[in-house]
């Protein structure tokens, strides 16, 4: 089946005759006749009742007609999308970032976006991964960085990079000089962690359970500065290192790689796909991914590029 014949059907429905449709579509009447016949033969339904004063769409035809309109409407949508994609990006973009990511990239991203795409206005919403997924689905966000996302209708997601969280201890902690540490060694420590609504906590809980290690978590702290100060006071945590980079450089916090098992997760950029004017989203996504890749390649953001991004 081809769109040509659907356009024919619509033309006939709207003009009430094959000849009328032919005039409207700049074709001859036999061409219309043949086109309609093609469609009817393919669907094996009589769509149009021809008579000497014109032609009427049959009851059956009206059902098919309805679908034909929907299809051609979507086709028009598609060309609109394509048009939009080649024009200068403009409009609002609502970007959701998890706490552990937002602090490190927001400023630079906003700066680059202003420079490269001055007509795009960026709204950054910082929240937990779970909240971001919800907001995305509700349409309140255009895109978000998420952890280990599963495919969802209307969303397209792309892996960006793989992060390895580390054991963070204060610089004066007895473990501070360790080059690596096994998960089962942690059962002696009094840890602080974010609560289970954070995906990192969920991951740690799952892994420690499957490894048969019981961690002593003495407090759930859903505050990044709170966790940092607790680490410095002697309560270790397992956390991505990006945001504590300065502390590590100053030596006030040590970040010890975890081995056996190795723990990592993938950061994805998930984007809503239903927009009819997606160019602003697309431009932002590109800058965002470029920025993240750059930070990782330059070693500023500890982690490695996802294989699909750096082959």
Q: By the criterion CB under 7 A, which residues form the site for DNA?
A: 2, 4, 17-20, 22, 26-31, 33-38, 50-55
Told to check if 273 binds a second copy by CB under 8 A, we report yes
If the CB atoms of residues 274 and 294 are measured against a second copy, the closer one turns out to be 274
Using CB under 8 A, pick the residue from 51, 52, 86, 179 that binds a second copy.
86
Torsions phi, psi for 216 (to 5 deg): -100, 95
If the CB atoms of residues 60 and 205 are measured against DNA, the closer one turns out to be 60
List, as own/partner pairs, every contact residues 128-132 make where C-beta atoms lie below 8 angstroms and the sequence separation is at least 24, other chains included.
128/98, 128/99, 128/197, 128/198, 128/199, 129/98, 129/198, 129/199, 130/197, 130/198, 130/199, 131/96, 132/96, 132/97, 132/98
Told to check if 246 binds a second copy by CB under 8 A, we report no
Q: Is residue 58 a contact partner of residue 47, using CB atoms and an 8 Å limit?
A: yes
Considering only CA atoms, give the Rg of the chain: 29
Told to check if 59 binds a second copy by CB under 8 A, we report yes
Please calculate the CA angle 121-127-131 and round it to the nearest 5 degrees: 110
Residue 115, contacted partner among DNA, a second copy, none, CB below 5-8 A by kind? none
Among residues 195, 133, 158, the alpha carbon closest in space to that of 288 is found at 158
If the CB atoms of residues 80 and 172 are measured against a second copy, the closer one turns out to be 80
Among residues 227, 104, 239, the alpha carbon closest in space to that of 168 is found at 239
Residue 77, contacted partner among DNA, a second copy, none, CB below 5-8 A by kind? a second copy
Spatial separation of the C-alpha atoms in residues 46 and 42, rounded to whole Å: 10
Residue 53, contacted partner among a second copy, DNA, none, CB below 5-8 A by kind? DNA
Residues ≥6 apart with Cβ < 8 Å to 238: 165, 166, 167, 168, 191, 193, 200, 204, 258, 263
From residue 157, alpha-carbon distances to 121, 133, 150, 163, 276 in Å are: 22, 12, 9, 17, 18
Min separation Cβ 55 and DNA, Å: 4
Stretch that binds a second copy, among 66-74, 129-137, 201-209, 290-298 (CB under 8 A): 66-74
Coil, strand or helix at 58: coil
Which x/- pattern over 150-189 shows residues binding a second copy (rule: CB under 8 A)? ------x---------------------------------
Residue 260, contacted partner among DNA, a second copy, none, CB below 5-8 A by kind? none
Stretch that binds a second copy, among 18-26, 144-152, 199-207, 281-289 (CB under 8 A): 281-289
Residue 156, contacted partner among DNA, a second copy, none, CB below 5-8 A by kind? a second copy
If the CB atoms of residues 17 and 232 are measured against DNA, the closer one turns out to be 17
Residue 124, contacted partner among DNA, a second copy, none, CB below 5-8 A by kind? none
If the CB atoms of residues 17 and 237 are measured against DNA, the closer one turns out to be 17
Among residues 129, 96, 99, the alpha carbon closest in space to that of 227 is found at 99
Binding site for a second copy (CB under 8 A): 1-4, 42-45, 59-60, 62-64, 66-68, 70-71, 74-75, 77-79, 81-83, 85-86, 156, 273, 278, 282, 285-286
């Amino acid at each position: 089946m081809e769109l040509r014949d659907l356009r024919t059907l619509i033309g006939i429905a709207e003009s009430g005759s094959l000849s009328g449709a032919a005039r409207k579509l700049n074709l001859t009447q036999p061409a219309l006749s043949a086109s309609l016949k093609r469609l009817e033969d393919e669907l094996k339904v009589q769509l149009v009742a021809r008579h000497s004063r014109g032609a009427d769409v049959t009851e059956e035809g009206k059902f098919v007609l309805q679908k034909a309109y929907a299809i051609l409407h979507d086709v028009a949508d598609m060309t609109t999308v394509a048009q939009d994609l080649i024009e200068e990006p403009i409009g609002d973009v609502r970007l959701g970032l998890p706490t552990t990511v937002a602090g490190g990239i927001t400023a630079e991203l906003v700066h680059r976006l202003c420079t490269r795409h001055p007509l795009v206005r960026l709204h950054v919403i910082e929240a937990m991964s779970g909240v971001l997924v919800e907001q995305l689905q509700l349409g309140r966000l255009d895109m978000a960085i998420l952890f280990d996302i599963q495919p969802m209708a209307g969303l397209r997601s792309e892996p960006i990079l793989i992060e390895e969280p580390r054991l963070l201890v204060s610089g004066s902690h007895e473990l501070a000089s360790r080059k690596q540490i096994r998960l089962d060694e942690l059962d002696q420590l009094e840890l602080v962690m974010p609560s289970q609504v954070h995906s990192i906590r969920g991951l740690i809980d799952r892994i420690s359970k499957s490894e048969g290690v019981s961690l002593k978590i003495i407090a759930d702290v859903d505050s990044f500065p709170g966790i940092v100060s607790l680490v410095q006071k002697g309560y270790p945590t397992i956390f991505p290192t990006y945001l504590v980079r300065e502390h590590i450089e100053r030596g006030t916090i040590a970040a010890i790689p975890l081995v056996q098992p190795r723990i990592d997760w993938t950061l994805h950029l998930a984007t809503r796909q239903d927009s009819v004017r997606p160019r602003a989203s697309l431009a932002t996504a590109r800058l965002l991914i470029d920025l993240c890749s750059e930070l990782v390649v330059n070693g500023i953001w500890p982690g490695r590029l996802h294989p699909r991004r750096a082959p």
